[in-house]
Structure 1
Amino acid sequence: MSSTSTPAARTAVETNGTPAARTAVDANSTEVTGARTDEAASLIGDARTRIDTLDDRIIGLVQERMAVSAVIQEARMTSGGRRVNLSREMEILGRYRDALGKPGTPLAMTLLELCRGRV
C-alpha cells in the first residue's frame, strides 16, 4: 500500500502532486495513532497496515467458508437431512475455545451464525 493510499495521506497531497501543509508522515502522527514519538507513530502505522491486510484475508476466508457451508447444507437438505448439524457445531465451538480460550466460543458462534446461511 502506498503512503498516499490512506485517506489522511490522500488529503495531504494537492492536485498538482506537491505536498500540502500536512504530509503523509504527519498522517501517522500522535493525532492519528496516539503515539508520543514519530518512531512509535511509524511503527503503529505500519502495524495497522498489516492488520488491515490480515482483516482483508480473514474476511475473504469467512466468505469462502460461507460458500462451502452453503454447499454442505444444500446437500444435507436435498438428502432429507436438516440444514444444521448440532453435533458438528459443538465440535467447532470446542475447537475455537481450545485454540483461542474463552473468547473463542462467541467468535465461533458468530461464524456459525454467518454460515448457517441462506440456502
Structure 2
Amino acid sequence: MGDGLLYWILIAIFTLSNTLLLRLHSELARSQLQGLVIGGVVLAISIFPQVIDWKIDYTATMGQLFRDNILASTIFQNQQPIGLYSHRGHASFVLAAVAIATVVSWQWQWINTLAAAVASVLIIPALLDA
C-alpha cells in the first residue's frame, strides 16, 4: 500500500471518528475550536524567531548550513519563515484558517473577546510574515 493511500485512509478514519464523537457529544465542538486557536497561536509564536534569524528551523540540524543560503535541513533562506511546518505555504494556510476561525468563533461567542484579541494580535502579524 502506498504512503499516500495510507495517509488518506487515516485522514478519513480520523474525520469519521471525529464526526461520530461530535454527534454524540456536541458540546465538545467548542473545546475543539479553542484547541485549534491555541494551536494557531503556538504556530504564530514559532514564526517570530525565524523572522529575526532565518537559521532557526526547529529540526535536529538547526543552524547548520549546507551552503551559504541553504540550511542542512534543505530549507532555503528565502523560504523562511516556515514556523513548525516544512513549507511556507502550509504555515500560511493554517494561520489564515485559524484567523478566520477565531473571528467566526468570536462572533458566535464561542470564545471571549480577550482570547480572540490575543490570538488575532499574534496570528495576523505572523500571517503577514509567513
Same fold (TM over 0.5): no
**TM-score interval for Structure 1 and Structure 2 normalised by the shorter chain:** 0.3 to 0.5
- TM-score, normalising length: structure 2: 0.30
TM-score with structure 1 setting the length? 0.33
Q: Which has the larger radius of gyration?
A: 1
Greater RCO (CA < 8 Å, at least 6 residues apart): 2
